[in-house]
Amino acid sequence: MDRFIECWEGVVDPRTGNAALHNFYELLVIALCTVLCGGQSAVDMATFAQAKEPFLRSFLKLENGLPSHDTFSRLFRQLDPVQFGLAFQRFMARFSEKIQGVVAIDGKRGKTVGTQAPHTPNANDQIGDRNKSIGADAGQAGRNRALT
């Protein structure tokens, strides 16, 4: 979690008072997981958190329970988009440092053009298998959208 937090340094948490009940970074983790699994809205984020609570609690504290859709909505309405964009780029750069080749989060395997070689299990399969084990379907997230 520390490396994740480092990526988001410089992003000001705009919440104050009771609105800051939930850990800022934990909200970002839940949002990221939701989007990777095809979620698009604050309601999707809250629903994901409820459905995957045991999984999330395996690495998040969630000291004040699960966040509601209102919590996610308020947070993302108030976040500075420039700060968020720069932090997201840092996060993706850190994430890609450990990855070699293509990571197929949609469950598809890479194919070599012009060959009919038998399939050998690889890291792409493991990611697909991991997604299935946590009930994730990352294939829908941002398929036709470009990050600008």
Distance, in Å, from the CA atom of 146 to the CA atom of 137, rounded to the nearest integer, reads 19
- DSSP H helices, the chain, are 2-7, 24-36, 42-51, 53-57, 69-78, 81-97, 123-133
Tens digit of each residue's pLDDT (9 = 90 or more) over 49-82: 999 999 999 999 999 999 999 999 999 999 999 9
What per-residue confidence (pLDDT) applies to 69?
97
**What confidence tier does 110 reach under pLDDT thresholds 50, 70, 90?**
low
pLDDT confidence of residue 112: 52
**C-alpha span between 5 and 7 (Å, rounded):** 5
Extents of the domains making up the chain: 2-102
Question: How does residue 38 score in pLDDT terms, banded at 50, 70 and 90?
Answer: very high
pLDDT of residue 133 exceeding 60, the answer is: no
Q: Which residues make Cβ contacts (< 8 Å) with residue 20, sequence separation at least 6?
A: 13
CB-based contact 13:20 (threshold 8 Å): yes
Confidence at residue 105, expressed as pLDDT on a 0 to 100 scale: 64
CB 29 within 8 A of CB 58: no
Instruction: Specify the residue for token string 């000291």.
Output: 63
pTM assigned to the model: 0.68
Joined tokens for residue 100? 């070699």
Q: How confident is residue 113, by pLDDT bands cut at 50, 70 and 90?
A: low
Q: What would the pLDDT profile of 95-108 be if each residue is shown by its tens digit?
A: 888 777 766 666 66
